[in-house]
Amino acid sequence: AQKITQTQPGMFVQEKEAVTLDCTYDTSDPSYGLFWYKQPSSGEMIFLIYQGSYDQQNATEGRYSLNFQKARKSANLVISASQLGDSAMYFCAMRDSGGTSYGKLTFGQGTILTVHP
Amino acid sequence: DAMVIQNPRYQVTQFGKPVTLSCSQTLNHNVMYWYQQKSSQAPKLLFHYYDKDFNNEADTPDNFQSRRPNTSFCFLDIRSPGLGDAAMYLCATSRVGGVRTEAFFGQGTRLTVV
């Protein structure tokens, strides 16, 4: 069974500094995808970044990068140059092949990020 | 432009009174999902449709039902809402495409049971 663990219930960061949000996962499927979503207080899930299990390089999307350590089963999100608008809940999620050509997402518990001016 | 639209954004219902939440999509995706998210918790998948093929999660209460009359629309019916059903309900869609496939979420419906 899949499992996603986010051990940081809350994180604080100063504006313009970098912050790392932790995520570890467990799956027996060799093919899987890892996603990070941002959920502001309005409720919508906003896709940030994706890392595939077979990807050779760490994913980057603008100010977001993923520190993927496959052997340790971790996929930490790094946000550089934090902005006040980054304050939100952040979820790590995983999809594996699940024997189908699509798969459901399994989410971690989330981390609330607060950016201070 | 919004691609996954949920209505209403906020819904207040009485204990035991049936309620329906709706989701529509303009992406023409095969797969539609309903998640329940209680306060400060992870979203939990209730069920999903692959085209008209309905897939229920093993631990989804019988109180929750769903309908998908066509590709664009999907409904979540709660037959007899209890206080414990108060939550954010998120609809998502995806195409068929393997582990890399991104899910697109609506803005959610926040359900209050009084």
Tens digit of pLDDT at every position of chain A (117 positions):
789 999 999 999 999 999 999 999 999 888 899 999 999 998 889 999 999 999 989 999 999 999 999 999 999 999 999 999 999 999 999 987 765 556 688 999 999 999 999
Query: What are the phi and psi torsion angles at A84 (to 5°)?
Result: -60, -35
For B8-24, write each residue's pLDDT tens digit. 999 999 999 999 999 99
pLDDT bin (cut points 50, 70, 90) of residue B98 is: confident
| A47/B33 Cβ within 8 A | no
Give the count of beta carbons closer than 10 Å to the beta carbon of residue B44: 17
CA distance B6 to A84: 27
Question: Can you give the pLDDT at residue B88?
Answer: 96
Question: Which residue among A46, A97, A105 places its CB closest to the CB of B98?
Answer: A97
Question: Which residue among B45, B96, B104 places its CB closest to the CB of A104?
Answer: B45
For A58-74, write each residue's pLDDT tens digit. 999 999 999 999 999 99
A60, A52 contact by CB (below 8 A): no
Q: Does any CB of chain A come closer than 8 Å to the CB of residue B81?
A: no
Mutation pick from A2, A105, A114 vs chain B, by most beta carbons of B within 10 Å, is A105
| A103/B97 Cβ within 8 A | no
Mutation pick from A102, A109, A113 vs chain B, by most beta carbons of B within 10 Å, is A102
Quickly tell me which residue has 């949000």 as its tokens: A21
**Quick one: average pLDDT of B38-57?**
91
Question: Which residue among B40, B44, B100 places its CB closest to the CB of A50?
Answer: B100
DSSP string, B66-103: EE-SSSSEEEEEESS--GGG-EEEEEEEE-S--TTPPP
